Structure 1
Amino acid sequence: MTFKRLFWALKPCIDGFEHCIPVILIDGTHLYGPYLGVLLSATAVDGFSHLLPLAFSIVEAENVSSWGWFMDRLRKFVAGKRHGICGISDRHAGIMAAMKKSGWCEPHDHHRFCIRHLASNFCNAHKKKGLKKNLVELASQVQPKKFLLLWEQLVAAEPRATEWFEDKPLEKWSLAHDGGKRFGIMTTNHAESWNNAILEARNLPITSLVRALFEKLVDYFDARRVEIATQTLNGQIFTKVINMKLIQAI
């Protein structure tokens, strides 16, 4: 049986795409219904720190071909001619290959690694207690001097770290060397939250899955609409999340 890939994007999000500098979280999750496959997704993060779904695709598996196909359509139907986009993902071979293509690579667009996945990979390769916490703290530093200090501590704890990071450029995982491209978003946790929210739907046949996703998105955007309207009526210019960041900065 031939598996036919399916792609769909959310038009309201696309219409507003030109007016922002987006960070896109790229992720895939397995389906468990009668027709096995993988649901690929691209989500952003809004001013409330809520996930903002952009596009979905149902493919036969996570591989170089399916990820390349998905990213090509994401470029064509969502990003268009818009550049300055930062994609955050794990280091799946299919994603790595897709993000090296002319439509997504430097200098027009940028690819960054999810720190949670990177830290897990590092700990699987070097099984020592406390390494994951140390690496997350290291990657999250915004000051190069503090980064260097923590890097020296990590190498002291695990000398093989130097060799392991040789093929992983600093700008891909270090916030201090990021150039501001990822806007402080370090993980794909928002995308993972969405995958958990649709866990039951992932057990459905394809048609029912698409219908369930549509209904879930309608509920989601209706809740966001009420939240935004309430804040506007209260005369709040910025979201609570942004206000907290401003207060901390001051």
Structure 2
Amino acid sequence: MLHRTNPGSYIVLKSDEDDMFLYDFVALNASMKGWPYCIRVVIVYGTFLKLAYGGTLLVAATQDVEGKIFPLAFCVVDSENDDSWELFFDKFRKAYAVREDMSIVCDRHESIIKATIMVYLEVPHGPCTFHLLINIKNKFKKNSKKFKDTFFAVANACTMKNFEYKMRELDKIGKRIRPCLQQIGYHKWARIHSPNNRYSNMTSNIVESLNYAIVVVRELPICTMLGCLRALVQQWSWTNRNIANSTSTKFTDNHDMILNENYIYSLS
């Protein structure tokens, strides 16, 4: 039905030899058409389904130029494991291919890391800085309450001078933190060292927010859930299109507001 009502969508439904459901992957045509106009950062996430049969929903999303959440793909699998994430990225690549300067952001799930290396070897991937902070806090519990703000300042630094300055502040809190971060690789979690532009997407907040929006949907049977996810994408696309059509300035509302605020601030 999705193929009939949304021609051009990339949809894969797989069942076993007894016609029992195995997995499905859905990338709607509207999302595929919008992807070239979004920022080049894909954020992936897995969340469990509250069904009698269990299962996991894998999600990929990005942001449009206005900063709004833009869902890209949904996939229902048995659990977060090596095979399921490799399958997800394989189907995602067939639907969206590879964009120049593309990046992938995720939590530090081992299966995601393995799958990105297998399927998207040429695309840099990095951990969500919030998940990375939790791991570091668990490793260095003695000063865990002290370095949250400093760590985020390091991760979001836009110049090398500011990065090194904040790293020296981190050294004062704990000498072992810098070697740990070096081992992970600065290019994976620090904005200034990232080979591609991650914009403001240093965390997985986008998919966390999307997960909150569909928390009730995750209790529904799979077919009904997919129908609700399709309706959500349709509703957001319709709303955002109307906002865009009514925009009278050269910039989006969000960026126009920032420019106006900076202009007023500059007067003094």
Does the pair score TM above 0.5? yes
* Counterpart in the other structure of 1:153: 169
* Counterpart in the other structure of 2:190: 174
Query: Is residue 89 of structure 2 the alignment partner of residue 75 of structure 1?
Result: no
In structure 2, C-alpha distance between the alignment counterparts of 1:70 and 1:122, rounded to whole Å = 28
* Counterpart in the other structure of 1:15: 33
> How many residues are matched?
243
* Counterpart in the other structure of 2:46: 28
Does structure 1 conserve the Cα–Cα contact (< 8 Å) formed by 2:167 and 2:178?
Answer: no
Aligned to 2:47, what secondary structure does the other structure show? strand
1:16 Cα deviation (Å)? 3.7
* Counterpart in the other structure of 1:94: 111
Does structure 1 conserve the Cα–Cα contact (< 8 Å) formed by 2:42 and 2:103?
Answer: yes
Cα pair distance change 1:189/1:21, threshold 3 Å = closer
Letter in 1 for 2:255: I
Does structure 2 conserve the Cα–Cα contact (< 8 Å) formed by 1:3 and 1:60?
Answer: no
In structure 2, C-alpha distance between the alignment counterparts of 1:210 and 1:35, rounded to whole Å = 16
Letter in 2 for 1:9: A
* Counterpart in the other structure of 1:206: 222
Does structure 2 conserve the Cα–Cα contact (< 8 Å) formed by 1:43 and 1:52?
Answer: yes
Does structure 1 conserve the Cα–Cα contact (< 8 Å) formed by 2:38 and 2:63?
Answer: no
* Counterpart in the other structure of 1:236: 249
Match of 1:142 among 127, 143, 158: 158
Does structure 2 conserve the Cα–Cα contact (< 8 Å) formed by 1:22 and 1:85?
Answer: yes
Q: Give the gaps of 5 or more residues in structure 2.
A: 1-15
1:49 Cα deviation (Å)? 0.9
Deviations 1:64-86 (A, max 9, x none): 111111001100112x2544311
Aligned to 1:32, what secondary structure does the other structure show? coil
Identity among equivalent pairs (%): 30
- Once superposed, what is the RMSD of the aligned Cα atoms? 2.1
In structure 2, C-alpha distance between the alignment counterparts of 1:202 and 1:150, rounded to whole Å = 41
Deviations 1:200-241 (A, max 9, x none): 01111212211221222222222112211221xxx2221122
Whose radius of gyration is greater, 1 or 2? 2
In structure 2, C-alpha distance between the alignment counterparts of 1:210 and 1:118, rounded to whole Å = 31
In structure 1, C-alpha distance between the alignment counterparts of 2:108 and 2:114, rounded to whole Å = 10
Query: Is residue 139 of structure 2 the alignment partner of residue 122 of structure 1?
Result: no
Letter in 2 for 1:114: C
1:176 Cα deviation (Å)? 1.5
Aligned to 2:215, what secondary structure does the other structure show? coil
What is the TM-score with the length of structure 1 in the denominator? 0.89
